[in-house]
Amino acid sequence: MPHNNRFPYQQMLPVIKLLDAPKKIIITTHHKPDGDAMGSSLAIYNYLKAKGHNPTIITPSDYPEFLYWLPGNEHVIEYPKQMEASQKLFDEAEIIFCLDYNNPNRTETLETVIVNSKAKKILIDHHLHPAPFCDYTFSYPLSCATCELVYQFIVAMEDASVINKAIAECIYCGIMTDTNSFRFETMTADTHRIVADLMDKGAENYKIHENVFDNFSFDRMKMVGFSLFNKLRMIPQFKTAFISLSKEDIAEFDSTTGDTEGIVNMALAIKDVKLAAFFYETPKLIKISLRSRGEFSVKEMAQTYFEGGGHRNAAGGKAYTSLDDAINKFVSILPEYRDELLK
């Protein structure tokens, strides 16, 4: 069955037509891309290459080294490192794919160049409330990962047979990282069937897990230990736990992009904790990661108080204050959520 509810034939027709002949295509994703952002970008990249197109991935920033194994990674252009070459590619692009973000402002450095581009834009994403900036919008917040949607998109293009080992491994990576190893509520039986198919197509599951999760630098492992031993705080009356790292803490550990990934989930792994937060001081702002269990929506909290957004159980935002003030703000709003947290 090539088409499904997410990519119905009527909506796919103009896209199938658009991709009928070789095109110059740019693939974009959100600032500080994660496993789903890079997985979906490289899956689409490898797919378009296999179909004879001329695709380029331009990321708005750097991304974690534990994603460098993804097939095709050596061709990725980081915008801040190659601004002139990127601008030229954007000027010539006929199509732009917008993957794993719902608003051009999530790309930060690329926002204006994407918005101003005359290329046809195709959005594939699983965040709520997509902004109307694309010509073709495939937005399905119930999907566990943009990578799952990319799989369904390729199937809807009637190209299931084009999914080779490289494409399968990219898609596997995004589903694995966005579902925290296939364990979130978003992980459905259908997604398991897709993952099984990816393994049939050659994705080596154990290698992908090892590449992403067992690839810590010594410094990163020590930073995790330090965070848990010295920086973890509990607020039992609100079933909340949080961890914070200052600039000075981070400097101790020679930290690189991606090193703090997963720390917030450790705070959520404490028995009875319903809400977990992680505060990370950068030179310009405080980055905040929020995670929750069950019905409690951290997306709402991130939107209301931290200029952010995301999903119900995984969201993020920022504060342009001191680290202490950001933490104090978080603690001060907890009473407002008391009923939901103690439910």
The Cα–Cα gap between 197 and 298 comes to 33
Nearest-approach distance from CB 105 to ligand 5GP, in angstroms: 8
Q: Which does 318 bind (CB under 5 to 8 A by kind): ligand 5GP, Mn ion, none?
A: ligand 5GP
Q: Which residue matches tokens 């104090």?
A: 328
Write a three-state SS string for 292-308: ECCCCCHHHHHHHHCCC
Which residue of this chain has its Cβ atom nearest to ligand 5GP in the complex? 316
Site track 4-43 with ligand 5GP (rule: CB under 6 A), x = hit: ----------------------------------------
Nearer to ligand 5GP, 169 or 178 (CB): 178
Residue 331 CB partners (closer than 8 Å, separation 6+): 235
Nearest-approach distance from CB 323 to ligand 5GP, in angstroms: 16
Nearest-approach distance from CB 216 to ligand 5GP, in angstroms: 17
User: Does 125 contact Mn ion by CB under 5 A?
Assistant: no
Q: Which of residues 85-104 bind Mn ion (CB under 5 A)?
A: 100
Site track 21-40 with Mn ion (rule: CB under 5 A), x = hit: ---------------x----
User: Does 301 contact ligand 5GP by CB under 6 A?
Assistant: no
Which residue of this chain has its Cβ atom nearest to Mn ion in the complex? 36
Question: Which range binds ligand 5GP by CB under 6 A, 68-76, 142-150, 163-171, 312-320?
Answer: 312-320
How many other CB atoms are there within 10 angstroms of residue 284's CB atom?
8
Q: Which of residues 202-261 bind Mn ion (CB under 5 A)?
A: none
Half-sphere exposure (Cβ direction) of 319: Cα atoms closer than 13 Å: 22
Nearest-approach distance from CB 141 to ligand 5GP, in angstroms: 11
Contact 59, 41 (CB under 8 A): yes
Which of 3, 24, 312, 318: binder of ligand 5GP (CB under 6 A)?
318
List contacts with ligand 5GP (CB under 6 A): 106, 127, 289, 308-310, 314-318
List contacts with Mn ion (CB under 5 A): 36, 100, 146, 178
